[in-house]
């Protein structure tokens, strides 16, 4: 049941430290300064042969995959792309035995993602599924992969599913990285960061009352922009999706640099911009983007890190998440955006756990 929580979504948001703890448990290999993901069932030799990764998924799972693309390319230096699963299946994708296809699906039942698994298998790829539901169709058909162990996700809006997927992708990137160029010290540093994720998320959850107040302030807004760069670009897309699906308010997730190529025309005093201004590479550029929004009279809600005060004088409202590296910032930041969407939808009187027009798992194309 929901326990003391008013909605499953809120319960699952608060479960994230434990859920991520379960995704990590037993998988940090301190002897080798690497990770251990046994379900992948690949030898170091098999792993070394992989020269390209294709991630396929839908919705939040696709957004998680996008964060994964950054991890695989930066940490493991393996060319990686993310495909909407339906696109993947219908475009006759270029697949060789050295391509690792990673379908991502919380439920393990999404029709398009399942079709992508079948397409990739027929073409001879190595297919490893990242699923939460044990024994689900995608997990079974892939035959290898990583289970999240996040526990059941009941709310239609994915929360812990997304953060556990991102954590699993980070662990996979470390394992592939250590199999290649990534040094021991860097591996050890990344293990430390992974182990710290649950506590960092606990700190974000403590900000709930602040986030609730900010959500109340903007309750009349009918259009939002979410802007990010780098690792926080997919985070902006996911934050905007959360707002749309549970509050029915229009939100666009945008790359901060792309705004001025057209969409900035939409900004005015009734269109708040949620800006990922964390202290990670690209922050200086983001500050410039925030100034561009302010010049159009858009109110700015900035997500910032720790005691970094770079955006204080600029933003109308500030959401503070703990200081972290760029690798962990998508996780802390999305939890803040999940809470923002939750309270915003609640103030607008929306049903939250069962939004209109949506089903928990999309088993038709
Ligand atoms: C968004 C959401 C959906 C799912 C998508 C894929 O909150 O829940 O976008 O992420 O339908 O579902 P799975 O991961 O079960 O394949």
**Tens-place pLDDT, residues 109-124:** 999 999 999 999 999 9
pLDDT given for residue 92 in this prediction: 87
Number of DSSP helices (H) and strands (E) in the chain, helices first: 13, 13
Cα 333 to middle of ligand 1, angstroms? 19
Does residue 105 have its Cβ closer than 6 Å to ligand 1? yes
Q: What is the mean pLDDT of the chain?
A: 96
- pLDDT, tens digit (0-9, with 9 covering 90-100), for 126-164: 999 999 999 999 999 999 999 999 999 999 999 999 999
Over pLDDT 70: what percentage of the chain? 100
**What's the pTM?**
0.97
Q: Which residues are catalytic?
A: 360
Does residue 106 have its Cβ closer than 6 Å to ligand 1? yes
Q: Closest Cα partner for 365 from 116, 159, 107, 155? A: 116
Ligand 1: which of 56, 106, 238, 242 to mutate, most ligand atoms within 8 Å of CB? 106
Residue 9 to residues 47, 104, 154, 246, 256: CA-CA distances in angstroms? 37, 21, 8, 10, 28
Q: How confident is the model at residue 353 (pLDDT cuts 50, 70, 90)?
A: confident
Over residues 161-190, mean pLDDT: 98
Residue 359 has pLDDT above 80, yes or no: no
- pLDDT, tens digit (0-9, with 9 covering 90-100), for 324-339: 999 999 999 999 999 9
Q: How confident is the model at residue 282 (pLDDT cuts 50, 70, 90)?
A: very high
Residue 354 has pLDDT above 90, yes or no: no
Nearest-angstrom CA–CA distance, 44 and 26: 19
């Amino acid at each position: 049941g929901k326990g003391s929580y008013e909605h499953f979504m809120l319960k699952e948001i608060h479960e994230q430290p434990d859920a991520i703890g379960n995704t990590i448990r037993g998988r940090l290999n301190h002897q080798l300064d690497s990770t251990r993901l046994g379900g992948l069932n690949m030898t170091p030799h098999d792993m070394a042969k992989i020269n390209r990764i294709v991630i396929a998924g839908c919705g939040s799972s696709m957004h998680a995959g996008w964060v994964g693309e950054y991890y695989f390319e930066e940490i493991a230096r393996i060319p990686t792309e993310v495909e909407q699963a339906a696109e993947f299946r219908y475009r006759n994708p270029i697949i060789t035995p050295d391509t690792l296809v990673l379908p991502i699906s919380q439920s393990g039942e999404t029709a398009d993602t399942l079709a992508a698994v079948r397409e990739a298998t027929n073409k001879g790829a190595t297919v490893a599924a990242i699923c939460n539901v044990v024994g689900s169709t995608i997990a079974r058909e892939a035959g290898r992969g990583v289970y999240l162990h996040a526990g059941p996700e009941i709310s239609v809006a994915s929360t812990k599913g997304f953060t556990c997927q991102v954590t699993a992708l980070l662990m996979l990137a470390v394992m592939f990285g250590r199999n290649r160029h990534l040094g021991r010290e860097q591996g050890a540093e990344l293990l430390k960061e992974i182990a710290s994720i649950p506590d960092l998320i606990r700190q974000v959850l403590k900000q709930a009352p602040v986030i609730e107040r900010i959500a109340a302030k903007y309750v009349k807004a009918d259009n939002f922009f979410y802007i990010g760069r780098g690792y926080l670009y997919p985070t902006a897309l996911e934050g905007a999706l959360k707002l749309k699906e549970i509050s029915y308010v229009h939100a666009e997730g945008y790359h901060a640099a792309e705004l001025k190529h057209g969409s900035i025309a939409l900004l005015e005093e009734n269109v708040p911009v949620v800006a990922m201004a964390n202290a990670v590479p690209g922050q200086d550029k983001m500050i410039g983007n925030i100034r561009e929004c302010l010049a159009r009279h858009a109110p700015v809600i900035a997500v910032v890190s720790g005691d970094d005060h770079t955006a204080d004088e600029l933003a109308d409202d500030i959401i503070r998440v703990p200081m972290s590296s760029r690798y962990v910032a998508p996780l802390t930041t999305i939890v803040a955006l999940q809470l923002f969407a939750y309270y915003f939808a609640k103030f607008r009187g929306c049903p939250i756990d069962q939004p209109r027009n949506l089903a928990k798992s999309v088993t038709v194309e």
